């Protein structure tokens, strides 16, 4: 595990280093600083910024100190800006090259300024958009649904990623928003926590005020599994949230099954885990599992509805396209495979750069019929 992390961190930092070097070369070529001192400041500044996110992330996994949180937030925002600055720089070179081929003259400083301003604008939009949580309302018809469930409302929320960026205020805001919707039941689809040190009990406390008639249920995601998940599960349990740990509960005649992330990623193990829950085929059922990884097995095992998150719908472009290639039609929204219906939420929080471009944070309100 440690060796894999070292390899990942090394490759990640290498890529970031190359991107920052490209930005440096682009800036120097198009802006043409007038003195060597400006070159030196730019080299040092971009050199430090190139390692800022990895360094801040390593600190974040060791401390919840307010200064660590501040540094991590700044580094995460910078990473988001670098994402769009890279593409802006690419566009700058392409436009400049085309202009030269066409015999047109372009003022280099004006060109780089315009593209970096565009990158800054998109990043700013992404940060604001990432804070504007929407309520997505859908209706789902389940075969053989108990009469008592006709017209009932469930709320699905996933991927809060509470920790260094989103913390107590965000947790309270989402819990209050959900309470205002007056759902009959609440489903939390994993990654409630970001997996870093935090005041876990305090972050979960706002959820103790949810007075839902049929309870609040949680299944762990991959971020709860970065370390021993028991501390996260304990904090949620103390807040009155029922943890579904590879098991089944009956909720007024409806089967509710929860499978942990680590037990749902490998096909046959996932199948055995589902069968060990005591699931009754032919009876209406809901599977709460973090990621839409093995939907074919879910369908083969007779589940009526799967509720997931994890994908963030890519969170921000161009990674929205990457996520769509990985998960196909199940990257977001309500889909069907045979008799199975799948809803994948794009989540309500963010991981890494706290911005969303091409996706919207959502609370999903499901009306059953």
Per-residue pLDDT of the chain (369 residues; tens, 9 = 90+): 678 889 999 999 999 999 999 999 999 999 988 888 889 999 999 999 999 999 999 999 999 999 999 999 999 999 999 999 999 999 999 999 999 898 887 899 999 999 999 999 999 999 999 999 999 999 999 999 999 999 999 999 999 999 999 999 999 999 999 999 999 999 999 999 999 999 999 999 999 999 999 999 999 999 999 999 999 999 999 999 999 999 999 999 999 999 999 999 999 999 999 999 999 998 999 999 999 999 999 999 999 999 999 999 999 999 999 999 999 999 999 999 999 999 999 999 999 999 999 999 999 999 999
Length, in residues, of the chain:
369
CB atoms within 10 A of CB 106: 14
Highest CATH level, class, for 133-368: alpha beta
CA dihedral 188, 191, 196, 200 (to 10 degrees): 10
For residue 21, what are the contacts with CB-CB under 8 A and spacing of at least 6? 46, 50
Q: Kindly list the distances between the CA atom of residue 282 and the CA atoms of 141, 145, 307, 340, in Å, as whole numbers in the listed order.
A: 15, 11, 18, 12
On the 0-12 / 13-18 / 19+ scale of CB atoms within 10 A, 32 is exposed
- Secondary structure (3-state) at 162: strand
Domain coordinates of the chain in residue numbers?
2-130, 133-368
How far apart (Å, rounded) are the C-alpha atoms in residues 136 and 150?
19
How far apart (Å, rounded) are the C-alpha atoms in residues 95 and 337?
45
- Secondary structure (3-state) at 238: helix
> What pLDDT score does 1 carry?
63
166 DSSP 8-state letter: B
Which strands form 362-368's sheet, in the order they lie side by side? 134-140, 362-368, 153-157, 185-188, 216-218, 242-243
CB atoms within 10 A of CB 110: 10
Q: CB–CB of 311/328 below 8 Å?
A: no
Sign of the CA dihedral 79, 80, 81, 84?
A: positive
How far apart (Å, rounded) are the C-alpha atoms in residues 255 and 287?
8
Give this prediction's pTM.
Answer: 0.94
Q: Kindly list the distances between the CA atom of residue 146 and the CA atoms of 115, 150, 202, 285, in Å, as whole numbers in the listed order.
A: 57, 7, 37, 11
Q: Kindly list the distances between the CA atom of residue 349 and the CA atoms of 23, 52, 83, 85, 136, in Å, as whole numbers in the listed order.
A: 29, 22, 19, 23, 15
């Amino acid at each position: 595990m440690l060796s894999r992390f070292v390899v990942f961190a090394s490759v990640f930092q290498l890529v970031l280093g190359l991107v920052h070097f490209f930005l440096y070369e682009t800036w120097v070529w198009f802006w043409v600083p007038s003195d060597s001192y400006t070159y030196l400041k730019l080299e040092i500044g971009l050199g430090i910024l190139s390692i800022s996110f990895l360094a801040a992330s390593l600190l974040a996994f060791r401390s919840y100190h307010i200064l660590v949180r501040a540094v991590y937030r700044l580094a995460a925002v910078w990473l988001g800006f670098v994402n769009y600055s890279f593409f802006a720089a690419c566009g700058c070179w392409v436009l400049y090259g085309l202009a030269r081929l066409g015999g047109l003259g372009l003022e280099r400083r004006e060109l780089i300024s315009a593209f970096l301003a565009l990158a800054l604008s998109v990043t700013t939009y992404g940060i604001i958009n990432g804070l504007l949580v929407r309520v997505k309302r859908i209706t789902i018809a389940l075969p053989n649904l108990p009469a008592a469930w006709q017209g009932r409302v469930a709320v699905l929320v996933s991927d809060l990623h509470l920790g260094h960026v989103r913390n107590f205020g965000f947790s309270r805001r989402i819990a209050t928003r959900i309470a205002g919707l007056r759902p009959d039941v609440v489903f939390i689809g994993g990654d409630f926590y970001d997996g870093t040190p935090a005041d876990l009990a305090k972050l979960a406390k706002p959820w103790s005020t949810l007075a839902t008639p049929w309870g609040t249920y949680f299944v762990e995601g991959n971020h709860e599994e970065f370390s021993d998940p028991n501390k996260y599960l304990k904090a949620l349990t103390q807040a009155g949230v029922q943890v579904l740990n590879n098991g089944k509960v009956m909720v007024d005649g409806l089967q509710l099954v929860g499978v942990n992330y680590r037990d749902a990623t490998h096909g046959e193990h996932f199948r055995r885990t589902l069968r060990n829950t005591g699931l009754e085929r032919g009876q209406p059922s809901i599977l709460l599992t973090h990621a839409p990884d093995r939907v074919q097995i879910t369908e083969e095992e007779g589940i009526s509805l799967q509720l997931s998150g994890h994908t963030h719908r890519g969170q921000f472009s161009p990674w929205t396209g990457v996520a769509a290639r990985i998960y196909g039609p199940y990257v977001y929204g309500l889909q069907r495979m045979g008799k199975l219906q799948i809803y994948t939420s794009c989540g309500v929080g963010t991981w890494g750069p706290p911005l969303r471009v091409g996706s919207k944070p959502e609370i999903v309100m499901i009306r059953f019929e």
